[in-house]
Chain A
Amino acid sequence: MSNDAAFVEFQRVQKSYDGEILVVKDLNLSLPKGEFLTMLGPSGSGKTTCLMMLAGFETATHGEIMLDGRPINNIPPHKRGIGMVFQNYALFPHMTVAENLSFPLEVRKIGKSEREEKVKRALDMVQMGAFGSRRPAQLSGGQQQRIALARALVFEPELVLMDEPLGALDKQLREHMQFEITRLAHELGITTVYVTHDQTEALTMSDRVAVFDDGRIQQLAPPDLLYEEPENSFVAQFIGENNTLEGVVKSIDGDSCVVTLDDGSEIDAKPVNVSAAGERTKVSIRPERVEFNKDRLHADAHTLKATVKEFIYMGDVFRFRLSVAGNDDFIIKTRNAPDAVRLSPGQEVEIGWLAHDCRALDA
C-alpha cells in the first residue's frame, strides 16, 4: 500500500498562538501515500491546530511541513490541493448540493460537461445522487456530512483532511459513515488525516493512530499495537479500559520484572518504561487479560487477593468491579460463555495475569 517516501511530513514543528504557550511542541510525523492516519487526543491537545497548519490556515512557528517532498509553508492554501472536511461541514448555504460540488471544479477551470460528470459520480459515490438540486439546509445532518465528504473528494485531491467530521451524528449513522469513509479512502487510494477524540472511531478506521496530548504525539502506532502495547501510561489510560496499579520495581529480568505494589504485594509485569530496580512505576493491565482461574496461570505466577465489589451484567460480557491492593476501581471482564463464572459481591478471589499482558510504564 505504501511506498516508503513520506508523502506528508512534519519536521520538528512548533506552534504558538500567543507567543507564550506552545500549543504544538516538537511534532515529528511522516505518513506515506495512501495511509489513513488518525489524530486522537483530548480536547485542546492541538489536533485541529496541526490540521490547520497542514491546510495552510495557520503557519508553523518553527519547523517545516513537507508535502510530497516540497516545503508547504510558503504555498498559499488554495494551491495546496488538499481536500478538507470541516467539523461543521461548511457547505455553502447559498448553493445547491450540485453547485457546492462543482465549485472546486469550476475554480480549477474544468469544462462544463466534465464537471457535471464528476459531480454526478461523486454524488453517486456517497449515494446522494437524487439530492443534487437541494440546498444544504434541506438535508439531514448525515446527508450534509456525506455531501461534505463528496465535495472534499470530487476534485481528486491526493490528501484529505477531516476534522471530527462525524461529531454531530448519532451512533448508527456514525458507524455507517466510518465504514463509508474508510472504504472510499482505500478505494481511491487517498492519503487521509483524520481528527477525532472518539477512540473507537480511531481504532476502527485507521492504519495508524497518533495519540496527542499536551502538544506532543504520545504514541504513533497501528490500532492493535496501540491497544495492546501502549508505550506510556497516558496512552494506556486514554485508549480503552485499563487498570492501573502503582508501585516500585523490585527486580528486572530480561522482558519480565517484579513490581512491589504500594500495599506490599508483588506482581509480574513486562518492563516497558522502566530500566532499573527501585524506579517508581504504574503498571497497566487490560480488564479482559486478568485471570481469576488459577489453572490458566504459571505455577509460580504472583497473584493478588481481591474482593468483589460489584457485578454488572452487560449481555455479551460480565463486568466485575474489584478492590485490589487499595484500588477500588479495578475492573475485570469475562466473556459470557457457557462455563463463565459469576462472582458475587463480597466474594474473595485471587487474581493474576501473564507477565507480558501487564506493562510497567512511567510513573
Chain B
Amino acid sequence: MTDATQSGPMLAADGTPLKKSLARSLRRRKLRALALIAPLLLFVLLSFVIPIVSMLFRSVENGIVAETLPLTVVELKNWDAESGELPDEALYAAFTKDMVVAIDEKTHTRLGSRLNYEQTGMSSMFRRSGRQIKKLDPETDGPFKDKLIDIHDGWGDIETWRTIKTHAVPITNGYFLNAIDMRRTPEGAQAQPEDKQILIKLFGRTLMMSLIITASCILLAYPVSYLLATLPMRVSNLLMILVLLPFWTSLLVRTSAWKVMLQQQGVINETLVWLGLVADDARLVIINNQFGTIIAMTHILLPFMILPMYSVMQTIPPSYTRAAKSMGATNWTTFWRIYFPQSIPGIGAGSILVFILAIGYYITPEIVGGTKGVFISNRIAYHISSSLNWGLAAALGTILLAVVLLLYWCYDKIVGIDNVKLG
C-alpha cells in the first residue's frame, strides 16, 4: 500500500487516496447531521438523562454526616456500638468541635433533619442544642460529656450515637431499605416496625390497580377502535373527535368532573336514589377509594389505548375477513382466528403505554383516590414536597423505574417488542 504506483490504492481526482477522501466526505456529512440534532440531543440530555442520573445518585448519596461531623465520624470508628456504653470523652470533644463549626455555617439543622428520617426527635434535638453548644469553646471548656448531656439528654442516649454511626457512611443503602419497609441498623438491615410498613403495600397496590386500569382500558377501547377502523370515513371521523375531545380539556378539570359525578351527593348517587335503586342512607361510596381512582384513570387513559389499537386495526384489510368467510368461517371464527390475532400488536402497544402511564400517575389518584386509592407516586410527591426526604423519594423513583424496565423486559420476552405497532 505504500508505493502509489498503478497497482496502489485507488486515487480520487485530486490525487488523494479514494478511501481517505471518501472518509473525509462522510465525516463532514456526519458532522452536519450531528449539528442538526445537537439542540435536541442537548435538550434530552438536560431534561431526561441528567435528572435520572441525579435521581439514581441521590438515592444512595449520604455525604452529609461525614461532611458536617468529620472529626466525630473518625472517633465513632473506635466506639463499639454493641458495647452498651456511651462513647468516651474524646468523641464528645470531637463532636463539640464539629458542632461549633457546623452551627457557625448553619448546617447542623440540615443534619438534624436528615437524621430525623431515621430517628424521630433528632431534628429538634439538633436545633435546640445548637444555641447552647455555640457558647462552648472547644479548646477550653472541656470535658464536654456531661455538659452535652446537660444541654439535651438525647446526647446521653446510646441510640443517638448508634444512629449517627450507622448513617455516617457516604454511600448508603438506607434509602432503598426504607423504600422496601426496612431500615439500616448497626446490626444490619431489619424490618421496619409494623405500623411503618406501608411502602411495599403501596407498590403492590400501584401495580395491581395499574393492571386493572389497563385491562378495563383494553375492554372498553377494543370495540371503539374496531368501530373507528371499520365504519365509513364520515362517521368514524366524528367518533374520532369524540375520542380526542378529552385531550382538549385540562386533566384537572376532567378529574374534578369525576369528583362531581362520583361523590356521595354526586350525579350518580343522586340519580340512583331518585330511581329508588339505592336507599338514601346507603349511598354508594365510589370516590376517595380505589374504585374512584380506577374509574377516573380508565377514562383519562382510554385515548392512549384507543389510538394505537385504531391505527393497527386500520391496516387490517377487509379482504382478510372476507376471505375467511368465503372459506366457510362463521363470524365468530373469523373474528377470533383472523381479525383478533392481527390486532394484538395494537393491544400490546396500547397496554404498554397505558400501564406505564398509570404506574406513575399522580394527579388523578391524588384528587379522587382518598387514602386507599393513592399510588406510589403520591408518596414520592409527598417525600419531595412535604417531608423533604429526597433520598427516599429518589429510591422509590428508582425502584419504580426498575419495575417498569423489568416489566418491559418480560413483555419483550413473552410477546416480543417487535410485535408492538403504533401504526
Interface residues of A (CB under 8 A from B): 55-57, 76-84, 86-88, 90, 92-94, 103-104, 107-108, 151, 155, 161
Distance in angstroms from A267 CB to nearest chain B CB is 50
Of the residues B328, B330, B331, B334, contact of A155 by C-beta under 8 Å: B328
Q: A103 to chain B: which residues have CB within 8 Å?
A: 324, 327, 329, 337
Given that A93-B342, A94-B341 are known contacts, is A81 also in contact with B328, CB under 8 Å in the complex?
yes
Q: Which B residue sits closest to A91, measured CB to CB?
A: B323
Of the residues A79, A94, A161, contact of B328 by C-beta under 8 Å: A79
Distance in angstroms from B345 CB to nearest chain A CB is 10
Measured in the bound complex, the distance between the Cα atoms of B327 and A70 in whole Å is 19
Residues A90 and B317 in contact, CB atoms below 8 Å apart: yes
CB 8 Å contact bits of B309-344 with A (1 = contact, 0 = none): 000000001011011111111110110011001100
Q: B319 to chain A: which residues have CB within 8 Å?
A: 86-88, 90
Instruction: List 14 additional A-B contacts (Cβ < 8 Å) besides A83-B326, A94-B341, A155-B327.
Output: A56-B325, A57-B325, A76-B325, A78-B326, A78-B329, A79-B328, A83-B327, A86-B319, A86-B323, A88-B317, A88-B319, A92-B323, A92-B338, A93-B342
Measured in the bound complex, the distance between the Cα atoms of B320 and A56 in whole Å is 15
Measured in the bound complex, the distance between the Cα atoms of B49 and A345 in whole Å is 79
Q: Which B residue sits closest to A85, measured CB to CB?
A: B323
Distance in angstroms from A357 CB to nearest chain B CB is 44
Residues A55 and B328 in contact, CB atoms below 8 Å apart: no
Q: Which A residue sits closest to B344, measured CB to CB?
A: A94
Q: B334 to chain A: which residues have CB within 8 Å?
A: 78
Measured in the bound complex, the distance between the Cα atoms of B324 and A57 in whole Å is 12
Measured in the bound complex, the distance between the Cα atoms of B319 and A94 in whole Å is 15
Q: Which B residue sits closest to A109, measured CB to CB?
A: B328
Distance in angstroms from B273 CB to nearest chain A CB is 47
Given that A88-B317, A92-B338, A94-B342 are known contacts, is A151 also in contact with B327, CB under 8 Å in the complex?
yes
Residues B328 and A78 in contact, CB atoms below 8 Å apart: yes
Measured in the bound complex, the distance between the Cα atoms of B107 and A214 in whole Å is 92
Measured in the bound complex, the distance between the Cα atoms of B327 and A79 in whole Å is 9
Interface size class of B (residues with CB under 8 A): 10 to 19
Measured in the bound complex, the distance between the Cα atoms of B19 and A322 in whole Å is 61
Q: A78 to chain B: which residues have CB within 8 Å?
A: 325-331, 334
- Give 13 A-B contacts (CB < 8 Å), ordered by A residue: A56-B325, A57-B322, A77-B326, A78-B328, A79-B328, A87-B319, A88-B317, A90-B317, A94-B342, A103-B324, A103-B337, A107-B327, A161-B326
Q: A93 to chain B: which residues have CB within 8 Å?
A: 342
Given that A88-B317, A94-B341, A103-B337 are known contacts, is A77 also in contact with B325, CB under 8 Å in the complex?
yes
Distance in angstroms from B340 CB to nearest chain A CB is 10
Of the residues A57, A81, A87, A107, contact of B329 by C-beta under 8 Å: A107
Distance in angstroms from B138 CB to nearest chain A CB is 78
Distance in angstroms from A82 CB to nearest chain B CB is 6
Q: Which A residue sits closest to B326, measured CB to CB?
A: A84
Distance in angstroms from A263 CB to nearest chain B CB is 53
Distance in angstroms from A278 CB to nearest chain B CB is 52
Of the residues B317, B320, B328, B342, contact of A107 by C-beta under 8 Å: B328
Q: Which B residue sits closest to A148, measured CB to CB?
A: B323
Distance in angstroms from A54 CB to nearest chain B CB is 10
Q: B329 to chain A: which residues have CB within 8 Å?
A: 78, 103-104, 107
Q: Which B residue sits closest to A79, measured CB to CB?
A: B328
Measured in the bound complex, the distance between the Cα atoms of B139 and A353 in whole Å is 135
Q: A81 to chain B: which residues have CB within 8 Å?
A: 328
Measured in the bound complex, the distance between the Cα atoms of B328 and A104 in whole Å is 6
Q: A87 to chain B: which residues have CB within 8 Å?
A: 319
Distance in angstroms from A153 CB to nearest chain B CB is 11
Distance in angstroms from B331 CB to nearest chain A CB is 8
Of the residues B322, B330, B337, contact of A90 by C-beta under 8 Å: B322
Residues B330 and A107 in contact, CB atoms below 8 Å apart: yes
Measured in the bound complex, the distance between the Cα atoms of B342 and A94 in whole Å is 7
Q: B337 to chain A: which residues have CB within 8 Å?
A: 103
Q: A84 to chain B: which residues have CB within 8 Å?
A: 322-323, 326-327
Measured in the bound complex, the distance between the Cα atoms of B341 and A86 in whole Å is 21
Distance in angstroms from A347 CB to nearest chain B CB is 55
Distance in angstroms from B344 CB to nearest chain A CB is 8
Residues A107 and B333 in contact, CB atoms below 8 Å apart: yes
Residues B320 and A92 in contact, CB atoms below 8 Å apart: yes
Residues A90 and B327 in contact, CB atoms below 8 Å apart: no
Most A Cβ at <10 Å: residue of B317, B323, B325, B341:
B323
Q: Which B residue sits closest to A99, measured CB to CB?
A: B337
Closest CB pairs A-B (n = 9): A104-B327, A90-B323, A84-B326, A90-B319, A107-B329, A77-B325, A94-B341, A78-B325, A107-B328
Measured in the bound complex, the distance between the Cα atoms of B319 and A339 in whole Å is 56
Measured in the bound complex, the distance between the Cα atoms of B343 and A232 in whole Å is 50
Measured in the bound complex, the distance between the Cα atoms of B333 and A189 in whole Å is 30
Distance in angstroms from A40 CB to nearest chain B CB is 22
Q: A76 to chain B: which residues have CB within 8 Å?
A: 325
Measured in the bound complex, the distance between the Cα atoms of B330 and A170 in whole Å is 36
Q: B338 to chain A: which residues have CB within 8 Å?
A: 92
Most B Cβ at <10 Å: residue of A88, A92, A155:
A92
